[in-house]
Amino acid sequence: MKADAPGAEKSEFDDSMWRTLNVPHDWSIEGPFAQTNKTGGAGAFLPSGVGWYRKAFVLPEETAKQCMFVEFEGVMANSDVWINGHLLGHRPNGYVSFRYELTPHLKFGKGATNVIAVRADTSAQPASRWYTGAGIYRHVRLVTVEPVHLDCHTTFVSTPEIRSNMALVRFQTRVANRSLKEQSVSVMATIQGPPGSAPDGSYGCSGETKSTIIPAGKTVDVSLDVRIPWQPRLWELARPELHTALVRVRSGNETQDEETITFGIRTAEFTSDRGFVLNGKKVMLKGVCLHHDGGALGAAVPLGVWERRLAELKALGCNAIRTSHNPVAPEFLDLCDRMGFLVMDEFFDCWTVGKNRFDYHLDFEKWSLSDLGDTVKRDRNHPSIIVYSAGNEIHDTPQPALAKRILARLVKAYHENDPTRPVTQALFRPNASGDYTNGLADLLDVIGTNYRDKELLAAQQAKEGRKIVGTEQRHDLETWLNCRDNPSHSGQFLWTGIDYLGESRQWPRNSHASGLLDRTGAPKPLAYQRQSWWTEKPMVFVARRVAADDLMPTDPGYGGEERHTQVTFNDWSPHNREAHPENVEVYSNCEDVELLLNGRSLGSKKKPADDSPRKWTVTFQAGELVAVGRSGDIVVKQTIRTAGVVAKLVLSADAAQVSPAWDDVVFVRARITDENDNLVPASNNLVRFSISDPGQIVAVDNGDCMSTESFQGTERKAYGGCCVAIVRATASTGKITVTAEVDGLLIKGSAEIECRSANAK
């Protein structure tokens, strides 16, 4: 695909002004950062404007009788799409997936070139409270089908009956007849279970509808029930078993169209007494809120990045994701299905009252129902999704008549498109707006509120039958106890799981540092406090605290800067190396924790009933600080050591292999260490990376939210002694060698990565 220089409008396509590139593509992340960029701190001080894309292609004559569509998973934003000069449509929301039919405007045969052109416009700013990216930042595909085919996203798979010895799977779909004559068709569905799911080893069962006549140019809705006649393998967090269904449209014995749907068999419900229940068992939602960007990669995020990030969150005990505050890419939901995450699928950061001059409130009345419907139909087959959210901190709610009218309409649309899942909303100051008493909250299937946990619990107690969930929460101990100690509370979603670009109110800060993980995917020390609350496997983590935590918000609002300063450090290397008191705290779920300094015990502490960290005041002495956790016969320990002078640069790759697939990347982390491989956290040296063929460095980062260094290029200053290079393969065979150097260090770092084909395991 070709794209022109962002910000430039053109009256005609001049090849000299285009560059060839691959999509997905986010041109805004290329920068530069500038305080004068119209996006401001909300948009990470990165550029906005107009970008043009075009793709030329030739179609063989034999495809002329077929139907062809172009599908976009997301274009940021205000997109217009043309085929051969014909305008196909406009879509203002940059997060929704959409498609257009190309068929009437195509040319066929040798020498007949077709051109798709896309204009994406983010020039009107401010338009968001966080970084959005710009351009065709998600996947695009051309889809060719026969005139008789399944309509896009109309196949809905549900499981209305699940028993110990069977499951009933219901298929609802729509068949289109775009031919010039009536057609007699049937719909067949074949279910493939996970290995070992069928007693006879066949794993498959199927059903087929009776033949139906579809007039030319019409559609017909079809429903089909298929019975799995044995104990179904359930989709669960620890074992997210997935089934697939091959759905085919048949005319006689000939298949006209087919699609494969992945789904899970499970029950999920929110209750007023037990909180959230999955497959009959209470599950506390230990969730995080996530924005859609990938740090140095911007909004065009390879799936491999999300897989690594989610694996880190899962290791911390996280089991749920809130998609803040917009639809995510569909492959992100595929990943949640496979990895066993529960998802709150959220849409709308505003309704008719805007939070920015040029945000979605300008388009809400015209586009909200179609955007919502398209998104729900796209997402509803994912077993990971357990609830939809109709909005985040909506500023219409101080006008109850307006807000209730809108919310009733949205909830109805959710239920019409997916009657199997409940709807919530992240309420905005509900006590101030009267949402709990004026009827608005009770329009929701599950009442959600941001930050005001005690008010939410009180609202549940005030009216029998209310179901609640914390849609956005602080990281602090009190917030955790509000959930832990109230069985009727479904759970919480921390703000946030990972640092994200934007939502800054002060230059040069360009990222929001509220995450358990930093932008590079590395856990912060306080992430391990959360792990001590969220996991049962014995763990221990020792940290050095230099100050009290910054105050987290106790109430939604946008008046002040949220610093989220890092004040705990997993090192025994303070700037002051003289004897002085250091505040040490240990995060652990073990019954007993002992702290030792250079082999000398500083005492043991039992697990507090309120889950607070165990604390010691330690007179600093260079050497080794060890925390030892004991639970019965299980012993775990963690050691931190005083670092010496900078001596080495150590590189490590987070994967041994990489393919040339766009979604596959490897993070190569550079650590500046002393001669004993102890990280030197105070080092901020400039690290210069280089790479051999067949590889390329696609971005560099260090997680520093105050740095305005470019993510492009091959060098980055260390932050906390570390930085990363993100690497992609350019071939399916060979070996990539990544090296790095720092001025003054004789020992360079290196890492090797094997190339593999995209289909190899």
Instruction: Render pLDDT for 567-607 as a digit per residue (tens, 0 to 9).
Output: 999 999 999 999 999 999 999 999 999 999 999 999 999 99
pLDDT digits (tens, 9 = 90+) for 482-506: 999 999 999 999 999 999 999 998 9
Q: Does residue 295 sit in the same domain as residue 430? A: yes
DSSP-based helix, strand, coil % in the chain, nearest 5: 15, 40, 45
CATH number where 314 lies: 3.20.20.80
- 8 Å CB contact between 644 and 679: no
Residue 648 has pLDDT above 70, yes or no: yes
Residue 9 has pLDDT above 60, yes or no: no
Q: How high is the pLDDT of residue 6?
A: 58
Residue 558 has pLDDT above 60, yes or no: no
- 8 Å CB contact between 492 and 304: no
What is the percent of the chain where pLDDT is above 70? 97
Q: Does residue 665 sit in the same domain as residue 610? A: no
What is the percent of the chain where pLDDT is above 90? 91
In the numeric block, the tokens 């997210």 are attached to 240
Q: Does residue 126 sit in the same domain as residue 154? A: no
Catalytic, out of 73, 241, 346, 472: 472
Residue 526 lies in a domain: no
Q: Does residue 495 sit in the same domain as residue 549? A: no
Catalytic, out of 73, 241, 346, 393: 393
pLDDT digits (tens, 9 = 90+) for 19-55: 888 999 999 999 999 999 999 999 999 999 999 999 9
End-to-end CA distance of the chain: 29
Residue 295 lies in a domain: yes
Q: Does residue 296 sit in the same domain as residue 367? A: yes
Q: How high is the pLDDT of residue 744?
A: 86
Q: How high is the pLDDT of residue 18?
A: 81
DSSP 533: H
Averaged over 560-572, what is the pLDDT?
86
CA distance 625 to 744: 30
pLDDT digits (tens, 9 = 90+) for 102-155: 999 999 999 899 999 999 999 999 999 999 999 999 999 999 999 999 999 999
Q: Does residue 79 sit in the same domain as residue 155? A: no
Residue 209 lies in a domain: yes
Q: Does residue 211 sit in the same domain as residue 175? A: yes
Domain assignment of residue 666, given as a range? 648-755
Number of domains in the chain: 5
Averaged over 242-256, what is the pLDDT?
95
Averaged over 336-349, what is the pLDDT?
98
In the numeric block, the tokens 């179901």 are attached to 467
Residue 381 has pLDDT above 50, yes or no: yes
Q: How high is the pLDDT of residue 196?
A: 85
pLDDT digits (tens, 9 = 90+) for 674-718: 999 999 999 999 999 999 999 999 999 999 999 999 999 999 999
Both structure tokens of 616? 């010691």
Q: Does residue 235 sit in the same domain as residue 257? A: yes
User: Does 455 qualify as catalytic in the annotation?
Assistant: no
Residues in the chain: 761
In the numeric block, the tokens 């889950």 are attached to 611
Specify the amino acid at residue 460.
Q
Q: How high is the pLDDT of residue 11?
A: 43
Q: How high is the pLDDT of residue 164?
A: 93
Q: How high is the pLDDT of residue 198?
A: 87
What residues contact 253, with CB distance under 8 A and at least 6 apart?
none
Q: Does residue 348 sit in the same domain as residue 457? A: yes
Residue 282 lies in a domain: no
Residue 8 has pLDDT above 50, yes or no: no
Q: Does residue 237 sit in the same domain as residue 307? A: no
User: Does 393 qualify as catalytic in the annotation?
Assistant: yes
CA distance 623 to 632: 29
CA distance 405 to 56: 46
CATH number where 714 lies: 2.60.40.10
Residue 501 lies in a domain: yes
User: For residue 242, what are the CA distances in angstroms to 190, 191, 261, 337?
Assistant: 14, 11, 10, 8
pTM of the model: 0.95
pLDDT digits (tens, 9 = 90+) for 501-547: 999 989 999 999 999 999 999 999 999 999 999 999 999 999 999 99
Q: Please tell me whether the peptide bond between 325 and the residue prior to it is cis, using omega within 30 degrees of 0.
A: yes
